[in-house]
Chain A
Amino acid sequence: MSTLELENISKSFGELTILDHLDLRVNDGEFVSLLGPSGSGKSTIFHLIGGLYQADHGTIRLDNEAINGKKGSISYMPQTPSLFPWRTVLENVVLSVELHQKPDKQKALEMLERAGLKDYANAYPHELSGGMRQRVAFVRSLLSPQSFICLDEPFSALDEFTRLEMQKWLLTIWEQERPSVLFVTHNIEEAIFLSDRILVLGSKPANVIKEFTIDFKRPRNEELTLTQEFLEKKKEIYQTLRGVLND
């Protein structure tokens, strides 16, 4: 059970207003994507949720409890895998647990097995490919004691083939566990393929300018990306985004 709510959030750095009265909500077990051009303040939103920055205005609520400026309330997966090179895969995935309580290695091993990483449990990150490292980073955020997961453009550094593989893999794992997810991306197709809902961000200052509900049934597979309905959605979102860029 985990919901996240941003209410009337404003944040500026000096003269520059990044977020202006932003509202967004992620329901329990929902996969919500934030879609927006680079520099639209997506990272700032995560830093606010993560407690690294204080909002100038407004409240952030996790399960109806204000978490403004409180670090470590959410489980976070950054753009780069950010694995510790001196830890094995197994030691890396328990890191987020280790910060708050005694880690359960057995549970970690089971999760690695489900994620298809069992054979790599004792490997070091530098022995893995880029896609594998991202999988490890995702398993780490799943194992994290916080139930709400924030993913910050996790696949943006991967090549197109690996990216598609990773999206399918992410969906299978997510459909088993069903955690609430806030996913940041600038890839329209990725957002449609994965999400229940897409929030399109306008830039400077960022605000949710349009919301799309994606109700393709789950489990989804890659054929979906070639269907007429999918392409319709993509076109619709693309036009919205173009409007944002032209402003």
Chain B
Amino acid sequence: MFRKSFLPVSVIVSILIIWELSSRILAIPTWVLPAPTIIMQEAINGWSNYQHHILSTVFLTVSGFAIGVSVGLLIAIMLHLLPKIREALYPLLIMSQNIPIIVLAPLLVIWFGFGVTPKLLIITLVCFFPVAVSTIDGLRHTNPELIHYMKMAGATKKQIFTKLELPHAVPQMFSGLKISATYSVMGAVISEWLGANKGIGVYMTLASSSFRTDRVFVAILFIMILCLIFFAIIIAAEKIILKWHPGKEEQS
């Protein structure tokens, strides 16, 4: 564990050192690029100023992620069970990802106001896609030998789906979940930019409009930390649920 993390940690530490030194030696103004130590100071001293923003973003992210993932799974299962509908809707699904969220967001505000609805919609839009696509792939690529066995053993369509295809898609589903988890934090921050009174996104907008660049970096820091935490939670869940899954070295 220590050996594995040694390399990335040392890279991060050296970047921070270079950053710190250059901003001191070149005397870069704080409002342009604050040194890491100044950012850390603000992160510690300003905790009481911004902690309610973080809590609000966490809450928004978790609820948006939950809705997005459920929608993604439902879409995947529906499209898998109804191949005709899959044919019809799959291109639409992909097109939905071509619309820049930043363009869509103001529209959603016009339609749904400044409440929580447009924010959840944005996170859902960002989150459902990776889960839906990876789950559909997992469902479709079920080992044909196993399907053949199930048919010979007299399994009904429903049994083939619940006992074979669904569990077979779980590893794939998790790779989608990991992407969605990191996207969900970004989705939440973007949705907060539109107009909210709390959240990391709000804190960030306020900080940048008042040239508190150090606070912008504090916001970035917390966005990264949240992403990592969500990612770690998904990995932990994956480890527990996929305990049967052979390690990479055993897969041939």
Binding site for B on A (CB under 8 A): 46-47, 50-52, 71-76, 78, 80, 82, 84-88, 95-96, 98-100, 124, 126, 144, 146
Contacts and interface: CB of A to CB of B under 8 A. Distances in A.
Nearest to A52: B151
A86 B170 contact: yes
A98 B160 CA distance: 12
A225 B24 CA distance: 87
Given A78-B152, A144-B153, 17 more contacts: A50-B152, A71-B151, A71-B154, A72-B153, A72-B154, A74-B152, A76-B152, A78-B145, A82-B145, A84-B163, A86-B170, A86-B242, A86-B245, A87-B244, A95-B163, A99-B154, A100-B154
A86 B167 contact: yes
Nearest to B241: A86
B167 A84 contact: yes
A71 B152 contact: yes
B155 interface: yes
A82 B149 contact: yes
A174 B101 CA distance: 65
Contact of B245 (A51, A85, A87, A100): A85
B159 interface: yes
Contacts of B150: 99
25 contacts: A46-B152, A47-B152, A71-B151, A71-B154, A72-B153, A73-B154, A76-B149, A76-B152, A78-B149, A78-B152, A82-B146, A82-B148, A85-B246, A86-B167, A86-B168, A86-B242, A86-B245, A95-B153, A95-B163, A96-B153, A99-B153, A99-B155, A99-B163, A124-B246, A144-B153
Q: Tell me if A's interface is mostly helix, strand, loop or mixed.
A: loop
A233 B1 CA distance: 62
Given A78-B145, A82-B145, A84-B167, A126 B246 contact: yes
A76 B164 CA distance: 17
A50 B146 contact: no
A216 B170 CA distance: 50
- In order of increasing CB-CB distance, the 5 nearest A-B pairs are A72-B154, A126-B246, A82-B149, A76-B152, A50-B152
Contacts of B159: 99
A181 to B, nearest CB: 15
A166 to B, nearest CB: 19
B135 to A, nearest CB: 16
Given A71-B154, A100-B154, A126 B250 contact: yes
Interface size class of B (residues with CB under 8 A): 20 to 34
Contacts of A144: 153
A126 B171 CA distance: 15
Given A99-B159, A124-B244, A126-B246, A84 B146 contact: yes
Of residues A51, A75, A98, A99, which shows the largest number of chain B Cβ atoms within 10 Å of its Cβ? A99
Contacts of A98: 163
A85 B244 contact: yes
A35 B67 CA distance: 57
Contacts of A86: 167-168, 170, 242, 244-245
Nearest to A46: B152
Contacts of A51: 154
A140 to B, nearest CB: 9
A73 B154 CA distance: 7
B170 to A, nearest CB: 7
A71 B153 CA distance: 7
A76 B146 CA distance: 12
Given A99-B159, A126-B246, A80 B153 contact: no
Given A71-B152, A99-B159, A80 B246 contact: no
B197 to A, nearest CB: 46
B244 A52 contact: no
Contact of A52 (B145, B152, B164): B152
Nearest to B153: A96
Nearest to A76: B152
Contacts of A95: 153, 163
A87 B78 CA distance: 25
Contacts of B250: 126
Nearest to A73: B154
Contacts of A74: 152
Contacts of A72: 152-155
Contacts of B168: 86
B154 A84 contact: no
A47 B151 CA distance: 10
Contacts of B145: 78, 80, 82
Contact of A84 (B151, B156, B164, B242): B164
